[in-house]
Amino acid sequence: MELYAPIFVLGGIGAAFVVVSMIAGSLLGPKRYNRAKLQSYECGIDPTPQPVGGGRFTIKYYLTAMLFIVFDIEVIFLVPWAVHLDALGVFGLVAMVLFLVNVSIAYAYEWRRGGLEWE
The Cα 74–Cα 24 span in angstroms is 41
Write out the DSSP string of 55-102: ----SHHHHHHHHHHHHHHHHHHHHHHHHTHHHHHHHHHHHHHHHHHH
Counting Cα atoms < 13 Å in the Cβ hemisphere of 56 gives: 4
Closer CB to another protein, residue 49 or residue 114?
114
Minimum Å gap between C-beta 105 and another protein is 5
The Cα 51–Cα 110 span in angstroms is 28
Closer CB to another protein, residue 21 or residue 102?
102
Minimum Å gap between C-beta 43 and another protein is 22
Minimum Å gap between C-beta 77 and another protein is 15
Closer CB to another protein, residue 41 or residue 91?
91
Footprint on this chain of another protein (rule: CB under 8 A): 2-3, 6, 54, 56, 59, 84, 87-92, 102, 105-106, 108-109, 111-113
The Cα 21–Cα 23 span in angstroms is 6
Closer CB to another protein, residue 25 or residue 54?
54
Minimum Å gap between C-beta 80 and another protein is 11
